[in-house]
A and B are shown apart, each in its own frame.
Chain A
Amino acid sequence: MAAAPAPIRVEAPATLAASLDSVSKVYGAFAALRNVSTGFLAGSCTVLLGENGAGKSTLLRVVAGLITPTRGQASLFGGFPQQHRHRVAYMSHATMLYDELTAMENLAYFANLHRGEGCACVGSPEMALRAVGLDPTLTRPVGQYSQGMRQRASLARVLQTDPELLLLDEPFSNLDVRSAGQLVDLLADFRTWPVPGGGVRTIVLTTHQASLAEPLADRTLVMRQGQIAEDSTGKQG
């Protein structure tokens, strides 16, 4: 009797949280991105490395929908970036907070802008501040914080929106080694947070300190002169 044929395994295609298709971004005579095509798997953590001016921040801003590519197309969760803003959070190397307001006031304000129909569940500002190691009862305005404290407040702003895709531009800059280590632990923990309605957390971050991001990285992209020069898969290999 002939052996039964082995069952055919059909694996669901891995979904992309974000993808870039032949994306170029030109500012005057300077090409910040040159024909970049890549995708970021949902649930993964991708670390972007490269020298200053390599195009890392521009790439993040294109994914966030903050700038429109000169050529090519960027998509988020299979649609236009602008359609999925409630599922994405972007932290720039600037604080993106008002200097005159306290951290709690800043976070409460942005949390309220994320509330509404179709918007992601919003965590509480107090919880977000405690998660990054800041005291929510601080009455000093953010403008009087140290650089490290501002960086943490900025991170709390993005974490409280409970994003599925977290885009971080230089999150370790201005942090001492201990704080940077705590941030790595926090981001690792963030990936395990359940997403309301299913789904997984994706992180794309840029940094100059590759060693710090190493424990997080599933994939590392090295950028040079607006192009992806190296693409290496890390621990998930």
Chain B
Amino acid sequence: MKYLGYVLEHLRKDLRLEWRSRDSINGMLFFVLLMVVVFSIAFDPAGYPTVTRQISGGILWVGLLFASMTALNQSWTREQRNQVLEAQRMAPSPASALFVGKALANMIFVLVVEAVLAPVFIIFFNLHVLGDPWLLALILPLGTWAIVVNGTFFAALGLRARNRELLLPLILLPLSLPAVLMMVQATTGVLTAELDPIYLQSWIKQLAGYDVIYTTVCILLFETVLNAE
């Protein structure tokens, strides 16, 4: 079986597990929806539409970042239950395929949450996109992958730690800061149409570059992390 076949096998398994338990998606969805409601009450979007447009990109991404952390820890906890991870380690399939499969599954879960969140967010924040909305179709997956690929990797790194729920945000948040900056700038640029298209392109390209670099590093280092004691 080729590498892609192993990745798809892990992905299928994770999707099936989530379909049966719905732990990750439910947790993320409730968290992020509550956050949207709380922020919409706190900032009065109807009264200050321009300010709301300027800050809504930040609120969206910070909310998704925090929400995804609940799912990322959960995704590896499943592997630890009944010592399944040891069976994974004994399997001759490449370890990085497990990582890529899980990162793709987490990406799908977060995208599902984003799909549900988007209309709610638009309604609660009274948003009118002034820039090219199709660019969001590029920024959202790129930003989501940046969160998910690092999150999946560092959640695996903290697997054997006693305070892994605390460890993940402590490592992930500082490392995600450059990506968060790029996502927020690009999203705000599209929402407000105040950003020069050249700068907007630059943020999107930097975000894509961030994704490529971190994905490569995570894939290369995953086997070491998986077998660490």
List residues of chain A with CB under 8 Å of any chain B CB.
64-68, 85-86, 88-90, 92, 94-101, 105, 109-110, 112-116, 118-119, 141, 157
Option from B1, B5, B87 in Cβ contact (under 8 Å) with A96: B87
Q: Which residue of B lies closest to A141 (CB)?
A: B20
Considering the chains assembled together, what is the distance between the CA atoms of A89 and B87 in angstroms? 9
CB distance from A101 to the nearest CB of B (A): 7
User: Which chain B residues border A95 with CB–CB below 8 Å?
Assistant: 82-83
How many B residues touch A, CB cutoff 8 Å?
A: 24
**Inter-chain contact A96/B83, CB cutoff 8 Å:** yes
Option from B1, B17, B88, B89 in Cβ contact (under 8 Å) with A112: B1
**Inter-chain contact A94/B82, CB cutoff 8 Å:** yes
**Inter-chain contact A98/B78, CB cutoff 8 Å:** yes
The secondary-structure label for the interface of chain B is: helix
**Inter-chain contact A109/B9, CB cutoff 8 Å:** yes
**Inter-chain contact A110/B91, CB cutoff 8 Å:** yes
12 contacts between A and B (CB under 8 A): A65-B90, A66-B86, A89-B90, A90-B86, A94-B83, A95-B83, A98-B82, A100-B20, A112-B9, A113-B9, A114-B92, A141-B20
**Inter-chain contact B92/A119, CB cutoff 8 Å:** yes
User: Which chain B residues border A113 with CB–CB below 8 Å?
Assistant: 6, 9, 88, 91-93
Considering the chains assembled together, what is the distance between the CA atoms of A86 and B17 in angstroms? 26
**Inter-chain contact A101/B17, CB cutoff 8 Å:** yes
B128 on interface, CB distance cutoff 8 Å: no
Considering the chains assembled together, what is the distance between the CA atoms of A115 and B90 in angstroms? 13
User: Which chain B residues border A96 with CB–CB below 8 Å?
Assistant: 82-84, 86-87
Contacts of B1-26 to chain A: CB distance below 8 A: 1-2, 5-6, 9, 13, 16-17, 20-21
